[in-house]
Amino acid sequence: MGVDSNLVKRDLHEMYGLTLVFSEFTFDPLQWPRSLMDKDFDELSHHFKAEKSIVRVMGSDPDLKLAVLASWQDHCLIDLLHRWQEGELPVDICCVISNHNRGPNTHVLRFLERHGIPYHYLPTSRGNKREAEILELVSGTDFLVLARYMQVLSSTFLHNYRKDIINIHHGLLPSFKGANPYRQAYEAGVKLIGATSHFVTEELDDGPIIEQMVDRVSHRDSLNAFATRSENLEKQCLGKAIKYYCEQRILRYAVNKTIVFG
């Protein structure tokens, strides 16, 4: 089910004085050459005094360039790589950067080597997050994904990168944070678990939300089953966020809100 764009336009205009429009159409380059399409949309943009106008032809335009940052947990990284391999994510993965040293014969390293994707191991410390080196490695990317990257990016990094960064985390925050959040939640007897994908801002884990998913657990679930179900939610939630982003389905407005067109 899609979002009713007329309701969106009306509600946002009443609340914020904004009008947002999202349109999908079938593109036939023989009937409507891309150069002419760009010219037509540019004229429409000027006519309506649009602050921003984006036109993207999936399967024709170059894929967005993506770099992935990850720590020791592999589940989101491996899922992202396999979704990309299966053609579900229209991105060009430029590199994977990690503060965790994966051995040469691990699944991740074998996959990356097979597809010619560079892997950069940058060990971090409390006093050196290696951010200057990371910025250099991702300078040519269109956006970044933090696939359970367990380091906080500084405001300096965000200001220097100046492009979108998508993060994923379990939905057990803020009650269960720090080490072993799955065990903490399991021992507390929670009944709902979840995952949240969002844009990164200077406020930790408080950027505009893109996607959220939940699942019900019970006393019948072991700790291992509990953690596995949580990780499955994180993988799915991150995959959807990346897909929405590449398909230009996310519109940000106000300070901390998004609309995601289904």
Give Cα 224 distance to the centre of its chain: 26
Whole-model pTM: value is: 0.86
φ/ψ of residue 50, rounded to 5: -70, 140
pLDDT tens digits for 90-102? 999 999 999 999 9
Give Cα 190 distance to the centre of its chain: 27
Q: Which domains does the chain show, CATH number per domain? A: 5-48 (no CATH), 64-260 (3.40.50.170)
Reported confidence tier of residue 2, pLDDT bands at 50, 70, 90: very low
Residue 231 predicted with pLDDT over 70: yes
Q: Which of the residues 11, 63, 205, 221 is marked catalytic?
A: 205
pLDDT tens digits for 232-251? 999 999 999 999 999 989 98
User: Which of these ranges, 14-18, 39-43, 76-80, 163-167, has the smallest mean pLDDT?
Assistant: 14-18
Lookup: tokens for 223: 């700790």
pLDDT at 137: 98
Lookup: tokens for 197: 């994908």
| CA separation for the pair 232, 216 (Å, rounded) | 13
Average pLDDT over residues 5-11: 49
| CA separation for the pair 73, 149 (Å, rounded) | 8
Indicate left, alpha or beta for 162 from its phi (over 0: left) and psi (-120 to 50: alpha).
Answer: left
Are the C-beta atoms of 163 and 181 separated by less than 8 Å? no
| CA separation for the pair 196, 68 (Å, rounded) | 17
Query: Strands, DSSP E only, in the chain?
Result: 64-70, 91-98, 119-121, 143-146, 164-170, 192-199, 209-216, 250-253, 257-260
Lookup: tokens for 28: 């036939």
Find which of 53-62, 140-149, 179-188, 203-212 is predicted with most confidence, using mean pLDDT: 140-149
pLDDT at 86: 96
The share of the chain scoring above pLDDT 90, in percent, equals: 60
Residue 7 predicted with pLDDT over 50: no
Beta-carbon count within 10 A of 196 CB:
23
pLDDT tens digits for 130-164? 999 999 999 999 999 999 999 999 999 999 999 99
Residue 22 predicted with pLDDT over 70: yes
Closest among 143, 1, 125, 118 to 66, alpha carbons compared: 143
Query: Strands, DSSP E only, in 71-152?
Result: 91-98, 119-121, 143-146
Residue 27 predicted with pLDDT over 60: yes
Specify whether 4 is catalytic: no
pLDDT at 118: 97
What's the chain's length in residues? Answer: 262
pLDDT at 59: 76
Residue 9 predicted with pLDDT over 70: no
